[in-house]
Amino acid sequence: MVDEVFRALADPSRRRLLDRLNERNGQTLRELCDGLASTRQAVSKHLSVLEAADLVTTVRRGREKLHHLNAAPINAIAERWLSRYDRERAAALADLTRALERQPMESPTFTYTTYVATTPQRLWSALTEPAFTRRYWGGVALVSDWTVGAPVLWQDAPDAEPRDLGQRVLVAEPYRRLSYSWHGFQPEHAEHFGWSAEELAARLGERRSTVTFEIEPHGASAVRLTVRHDDFSPDSEMHRAISGQLDGSGGWPELLAGLKTLVETGEPMPAQHTD
């Protein structure tokens, strides 16, 4: 798969398409063609190459097919090589670049696709059973009866009282699709990221976002898991946190790597973040 990723990235037209999705995720083929000199057919072929390399993933919305940038393959390459060098310095430089170039976005979307060697039933259990979630959510168990409208409670320790952070189940189709509203920032986030009381208060004004898990069988012994997190406030700090762009935040890429490792090997990854 690494060879396919590098081949896909070698073409400047495909890199331009990824840049456009990075600026605004979830675009149709027509939207991606707007302003480009390439024909619709050429853009479609480039998108097929990017999809084959898992750099782009698609979601159906009625008759439309929306294209999303998938960070999983690039994150895997970074994990393979950057860990040998000064990863923190590289992250600091990336943060500086984003700060200098950042412009307010309308409503960002995070989409991540990964493949897990398991069954839809076992992956559903990993997403919904407290004993599972505690092992890759950094000790936090998600507690719910997973019916539409039910709360999704956070239990910080086995003997702790589960906390209601305002999350509610929106969709629950066992072994296929799960969606729930996301929590807002908490005092522990301010402590973790080093925010002042004023900075936390400003971030508490962000609207609640939504996370959705799509589960699809892939071949005889694997599952395709697509995580879509959207409905953020413009220029959302929560979006930066869940996508791993904040210093000290592994976000969904790290969390999903932990889920995949746990399901496939029975052992969790160390030092998971719970952002």
Over residues 78-109, the pLDDT tens digits come to 666 655 444 544 454 454 454 444 444 567 88
pLDDT in tens, 199-218: 888 888 899 999 999 999 99
Q: Note whether 206 and 184 are within 8 A (CB).
A: yes
Mean per-residue pLDDT for 23-46?
86
Q: Which residues, including other chains, have CB under 8 Å from residue 10's CB and lie 6 or more apart?
A: none
pLDDT in tens, 59-80: 887 888 889 888 777 777 766 6
Sign of the four-CA dihedral 233, 234, 237, 243:
positive
Domains of the chain in start order, with CATH, are 2-70 (1.10.10.10), 108-265 (3.30.530.20)
Residue 174 Cα distances to 118, 150, 214, 264, 268, angstroms: 15, 15, 10, 20, 24
Rounded to 5 degrees, what are φ and ψ at 37?
A: -75, -20
